[in-house]
Amino acid sequence: MGSNLHCSATNCAFNQTGGCYASQIKVEGFDAVITPETYCDTFKDKDNFNMTNYHGDTSLTSTQNISCSANKCTYNSYGACNASHVDINFENSSCETFVAR
Ligand code: SF4
Ligand code: SF4
């Protein structure tokens, strides 16, 4: 089953072949006006995070499961993301889909 959330941060513990299995994510970027000022706050460095001891939910994340503080993004609707597709970058796990309004 696919998702409309694609993540290139393969160094994140929740990343499985481009899919995010954190169930829900928090994107930060309060007052961000460009993509590099946004980041996925749910990112966990897979070298320092042990998934076998993780007791949280690990279902496939989609854009409906994003809570986002980037209030200057055109897709931000009261803290939810209404983009039809979101790409998270490898670099800083920033949001490639961010577009300033
Ligand atoms: S960086 Fe964020 S979107 Fe990407 S796999 Fe990790 S938690 Fe999911
Ligand atoms: S597209 Fe915009 S609203 Fe959606 S997660 Fe990225 S920065 Fe937040």
3-class state of residue 12 by DSSP: strand
- CA–CA separation, 97 vs 74, rounded Å? 10
Cα 80 to ligand 1 centre (Å): 16
Tens of pLDDT, residues 64-101 = 999 999 999 999 999 999 999 999 999 899 999 999 99
In a domain, 97, yes or no: no
Q: Are strands 80-81 and 25-28 parallel, antiparallel or unpaired?
A: unpaired
Contact by Cβ (8 Å): 41, 27: yes
| CA 44 to ligand 1: nearest atom | 6
Question: How many domains, in total, are found in the chain?
Answer: 1
Res 5: pLDDT: 98
In a domain, 95, yes or no: no
Phi first, then psi, for residue 53 (nearest 5°) are -100, 5
Res 8: pLDDT: 98
Closest ligand (CA of 13): 1
CB under 6 Å to ligand 1: residues? 7, 9, 12, 14-15, 20, 22, 25, 40, 42-43, 61, 88, 93
Contact by Cβ (8 Å): 49, 9: no
HSE-up of residue 79 (Cα within 13 Å, Cβ side): 3
Res 15: pLDDT: 97
Tens of pLDDT, residues 30-57 = 999 999 999 999 999 999 999 889 999 9
In a domain, 74, yes or no: yes
Cα 9 to ligand 1 centre (Å): 7
3-class state of residue 56 by DSSP: coil
Other beta carbons less than 10 A from residue 2's beta carbon: 9
Domain that holds residue 83: 5-88
Closest ligand (CA of 96): 2
pLDDT at residue 1 above 70? Answer: no
pTM: 0.96
What tokens were used for 62? 């989609």
